[in-house]
A and B are shown apart, each in its own frame.
Chain A
Amino acid sequence: MDISVIYYLVPSLVMFCCGVYGFVTRKNMIAMLISLELMLNSVDINFVVFNRYLFPGQLEGMFFTLFAIAIAAAETALAIAIIINIFRASKNIDVTDITKMKF
Chain B
Amino acid sequence: MDYSQFLVMKQEIALIVAFLLVFLCDTFMPKRSQGAIGWISIIAFAAVTAFGFCPSLLEGNPDAFSGMYSAGVAEVNIKNILNIGALIVMIQALRWAKEDMVKIRRGEFYELLLVTLFGMYLMISSRHFLLFVIGLETASLPLAAMVAFDKHRYESREAAVKYILTAVFSTAIFLMGLSFVYALSGSLYFDGIAAAVTYEGVNTLLVVALAFVISGIGFKLSLVPFHLWTADVYQGAPTPVTSYLSVISKGAAAFAFLVVLWKAFGTVYSEAWEWMLYALIILTITIGNLFAMRQRNMKRFLAFSSISQAGYIMLGVIAYNYMGMAALMYYVLVYIFSNLAAFGVIGAIENATGKVWMDDYKGLYKTNPRLAFTMMLAMFSLAGIPPFAGFFSKFFIFTSAINQGSVAIYVLVLIALINTIISLYYYLLVVKAMFISQDDCTIATFRSACSERFALWVCVAGIVGLGIVSCVYNHLLEAVL
Contact = CB atoms under 8 A, between A and B. Distances in A.
Contact of A42 (B148, B169, B176, B187): B176
Interface of B: 129-130, 133-134, 137, 141, 144-145, 148, 151, 154-155, 157-162, 164-165, 167-169, 171-173, 175-176, 178-180, 182-183, 186-188, 231-232, 235-236, 291
Given A23-B169, A85-B157, A39 B182 contact: no
Contacts of A10: none
B144 A78 contact: yes
A75 B159 contact: no
A71 B231 contact: no
Interface of A: 16, 19, 23, 29, 32-33, 36, 39-40, 42-43, 46-47, 50-51, 54-55, 58, 60-61, 63-64, 67-68, 71, 74-75, 78-79, 82-83, 85-86, 89-90, 95, 98, 100-103
Contact of B165 (A29, A46, A54, A100): A29
Given A75-B141, A82-B161, A101-B158, A63 B175 contact: no
Contact of B151 (A78, A85, A98): A85
Nearest to B172: A39
Contact of B188 (A64, A78, A79, A83): A64
B171 A75 contact: yes
B130 A64 contact: yes
B179 A43 contact: yes
A68 B133 contact: yes
A11 B179 CA distance: 15
11 contacts: A23-B169, A39-B169, A43-B178, A46-B176, A47-B179, A47-B182, A64-B130, A64-B182, A75-B137, A79-B168, A101-B231
Given A23-B165, A75-B167, A86-B158, 18 more contacts: A16-B176, A33-B165, A33-B168, A43-B176, A46-B176, A46-B183, A50-B182, A54-B186, A64-B178, A71-B134, A71-B137, A78-B141, A78-B144, A79-B168, A82-B148, A85-B157, A100-B155, A103-B231
Nearest to A90: B154
A79 B166 CA distance: 11
